[in-house]
């Protein structure tokens, strides 16, 4: 099956928000599961990642991913990671042509950044915890340190869980209100004492407040489209044993 790759006209460098279509995995992972941390067969995951690398025009060793831990930590890469253990971080920045940065998600926000004139790109994993703790701003700061100009940076959020599918409890709301009372605007009332959290609008707002030139979302909800996207929350609701991971990539 052919790979299904979403792109944004706002990003003028090579990039792709890969859907689950076109992969070698089966069962609950059917399609392009690129998560080595899943319980999928390692051979299938490796084959899927090789297909992604080929689609991005590089060999597999030039596809860099990190050990994501829901942090605000960012690493600066100047070449392939090789066989060394993956650094624990949730964002990568590079100014090295031919190096592909890849972020894994299954409801959280995959965010791709570029300042094409400066030749600096980045990719970040921004779930609620990472976004709240500042991973987006930390990524932008590292891009600027690498030579990017803040107002020349474009950031695009890929397929993520939308507000209608993201139900949270009152303690979740309180955590955001304690950080900033203005965060209440990202919550809507749900059933009973539950709320619906707008992770994507929160991410876009944080990006714009950081002073970059442009921030947008592709408009795709992971939860509501099982044919195209993996979703952690949907897997929980369906009592599945595990779930696949989508990959989003960018290169100079």
E strands in the chain: 5-6, 14-18, 63-64, 74-77, 91-94, 100-105, 109-115, 120-126, 154-157, 167-168, 187-189, 195-197, 214-217, 246-251
Confidence class for position 83, pLDDT limits 50, 70, 90: confident
Handedness of CA 89, 133, 204, 31 (dihedral sign): positive
CA distance 40 to 177: 38
Average of pLDDT values for 204-225?
Answer: 97
- What residue ranges do the domains of the chain occupy? 5-160+212-251
Does position 1 have pLDDT exceeding 70, yes or no? no
> What rounded mean pLDDT belongs to the chain?
97
CATH number of 5-160+212-251: 3.40.50.300, 3.60.140.10, 1.10.3720.10, 3.40.1000.10?
Answer: 3.60.140.10
Q: Given this model, what pLDDT does residue 82 score?
A: 85
Q: Given this model, what pLDDT does residue 211 score?
A: 97
Q: Which residue has the higher pLDDT, 81 or 248?
A: 248
CA distance 88 to 126: 14
Q: In terms of Cα–Cα distance, which of 162, 164, 115 is closest to 11?
A: 115
Determine what percent of the chain is predicted with pLDDT higher than 90. Answer: 98
Q: Show Cβ contacts of residue 7 under 8 Å, excluding neighbours closer than 6 positions.
A: 15, 16, 17
């Amino acid at each position: 099956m052919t790979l299904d790759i979403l792109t944004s006209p706002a990003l003028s460098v090579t990039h792709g928000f890969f859907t689950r279509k076109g992969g070698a995995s089966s069962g609950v992972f059917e399609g392009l599961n690129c998560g080595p941390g899943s319980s999928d067969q390692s051979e299938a995951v490796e084959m899927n990642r090789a297909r992604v690398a080929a689609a991005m025009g590089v060999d597999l060793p030039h596809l860099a991913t990190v050990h994501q831990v829901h942090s605000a930590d960012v690493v600066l890469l100047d070449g392939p990671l090789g066989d060394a253990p993956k650094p624990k971080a949730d964002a990568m920045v590079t100014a090295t042509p031919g190096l592909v940065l890849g972020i894994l998600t299954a409801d959280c926000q995959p965010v791709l950044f570029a300042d094409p004139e400066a030749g600096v790109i980045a990719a970040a994993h921004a779930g609620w915890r990472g976004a709240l703790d500042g991973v987006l701003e930390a990524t932008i700061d590292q891009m600027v340190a690498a030579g990017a100009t803040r107002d020349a940076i474009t950031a695009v959020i890929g397929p993520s869980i939308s507000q209608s599918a993201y139900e949270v409890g009152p303690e979740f709301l309180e955590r955001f209100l304690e950080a900033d009372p203005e965060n209440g605007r990202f919550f809507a009332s749900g059933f009973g004492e539950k709320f619906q959290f707008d992770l994507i609008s929160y991410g876009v707002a944080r990006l714009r407040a950081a002073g970059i030139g442009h921030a947008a979302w592709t408009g795709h909800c992971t939860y509501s489209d099982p044919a195209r996207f993996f979703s952690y929350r949907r897997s929980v609701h369906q009592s599945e044993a595990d779930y696949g991971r989508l990959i989003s990539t960018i290169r100079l």
